[in-house]
Structure 1
Amino acid sequence: MESTRGKARASIVEVAARLLRERGAGAVTIRAVAQEADTQAPTIYRFFEDKDALLDAVAEHVFAAYVAGKEAAEPSDDPLADLRAGWEAHLGFGLANPGLISLLLDPVRAARSPSMNTGMEVLRARMQRVAATGRLRVTERRAIELLHAAGTGTVLTLLSTPPQEQDPGFADAMYETVLRSILHEESLPEETAADAVRRGLPELRLTEAERTLLTEWMSRP
């Protein structure tokens, strides 16, 4: 019986998550979810008190899957590279899930999300590894707060800007600004020629085949 209930609840959450991803939070109504899940509204109310409770479950479901991937990632020998990888993953997830980001910006919802807490623990662990190298020139707490705020702000800025008007170097510039704020100057990573070309790749007028080939060349040791 519990297994059947669990499957029914999971199916409802999956349908609501799809609606959130495809149409935004406004489309996630009890009626719309019931219709898409081929069930009745009273069935949904047996699992969720109201729409907000359903949205809480959806946010937790989607974000938990993302955080689980971050937790499972094996750390490399370079703490700064891992920090950068986390930044890029955060941007990728945020840009791919605009509806979810709008939910998690609610401080009340974020505060009661176990996955949000777990995600911050992952960031804290990565920053602790950077601190252990002696590279930080601010406290770990300040470094974490600056990076977290910059990541959220970057996602919101990009989401609110039409694609044709986006600055392709904006996210990199923001990240580098944060690094300059939290690291000793001698600890700042040097940009290689390949990094510079890769950063400017979106502005180059290349065919898809040329872009793929150039990326492959730059990836070779």
Structure 2
Amino acid sequence: MAKEASATRRTRALIIDAAADLLAASAGGEFSTREVCDAAGVAAPTLYHHFGDKDGLLREVAADRFSRYLARKQALETTGDPVEDFLRGWDMHVEFGVTNPALYTIMYGRPMDGRTVPADHAHAVLVTMMRDLERAGRLRMPAGTAADVVASAAVGVTLHLIRTRAAADDPLSALVRDAVTAAVIGPPAVPGAPPVTRRLAQAAAQLEAEMPHGPVGTLRASETALLREWLLQLSVPGRAAGGDPS
């Protein structure tokens, strides 16, 4: 029984590796199941027995390679700075996608049955990172919303770089990354700054509720938006200046 299970694992691995190699070598990310069978040294019924059809094989290839990438990513030691870890994670995500365009497109560009298991895992890791930032008082929005914002931007940028055949270090990635970081993550607390009192928080919340969406008085629309952001931060009682709970 154990030998049979081991042989099954070896056969599956051979087919997945063969398909991954063909996928990487193909400019358009296309290959035939016959090519996979020839490369893996198996008959067509064996491939269909293990994976059902070509789409099933593609899902398994993407899951295998993306899981390996996630394992390498999670094995890295943290820098001690959650924001720096976030920036590094963004860059790694984009680099993986650009260097593995066919795999990434399967994962995010043309989902067959919703998100794949590794993509779900990656999103869960991102949510955990956002919750760490939330506990540190650094998030400008709920952790789940922040994770969705980051994921949408990162996937969009990566697919755009793949489509335009740009490099992973294209300035566009850093521009979007930094814009998303500024929108999602707030500044650290100022040491020794007094906490926001309940009275101040109530006043800030009341003024924020009165703020229009656009220019007001002598303020430009961008200045009004910035003022609204500051008022939202002040409207939570107990936070020290800059965002950390007191």
TM over 0.5: yes
- Aligned-pair distance for 1:163? 4.0
Alignment-derived partner of residue 103 in structure 1: 106
Look up the SS of the partner of 2:51 in the other structure. coil
**Deviation sequence 1:73-130 (CA, Å, 0-9, x none):** 332310001101110110110001110111112344443x322222112111111111
Q: Which residue of structure 2 lines up, in the alignment, with residue 176 of structure 1?
A: 178
Q: CA deviation at 1:153?
A: 0.9
1:75 to 72, 75, 78: 78
**Over aligned residues, Cα RMSD in angstroms?**
2.2
Task: For 1:134 and 1:118, locate their aligned partners in 2 and report how far apart those are by CA, in whole Å.
Answer: 25
Cα deviations by residue, 1:49-87 (Å, 9 ceiling, x for unpaired):
111111111111111111112232332310001101110
Higher helix proportion: 1
How far apart, in 1, do the equivalents of 2:143 and 2:41 lie?
49
1:3 aligns to 2:13 (yes or no): no
1:120 maps onto 2:123 in alignment: yes
Stretches of structure 2 lacking an aligned partner (at least 5 in a row): 189-246
Q: Which moved more, 1:87-96 or 1:136-145?
A: 136-145
What letter corresponds to residue 65 of structure 1 in structure 2? R
Cα distance, 1:167 vs. partner? 8.8
Alpha-carbon distance in structure 2 between the residues aligned to 1:25 and 1:100 = 11
Note the residue ranges of structure 1 that are not aligned, 5 or more in a row: 188-221
Residue matched to 2:238: none
TM-fit CA distance, 1:170: 1.0
In the superposition, the TM-score normalised over structure 2's length comes to: 0.69
Runs of 4+ deviating beyond 6 Å: none
Counterparts of 1:110 and 1:66 in 2: how far apart (Å)? 20
- In structure 2, what is the equivalent of residue 138 of structure 1? 141
Q: In the comparison of the two structures, how many residue pairs are matched?
A: 185
Matches of 1:30 and 1:167 in 2, distance apart?
34
Identity %: 31
Q: Which amino acid aligns with 2:181?
A: L
TM-score, reference length from structure 1 = 0.76
Contact 1:9–1:47 (8 Å) recurs in 2 = yes
8 Å CA contact retained: 1:70, 1:122: no
Distance 1:168 1:48, change over 3 A: closer
1:90 lines up with 2:108 in the alignment = no
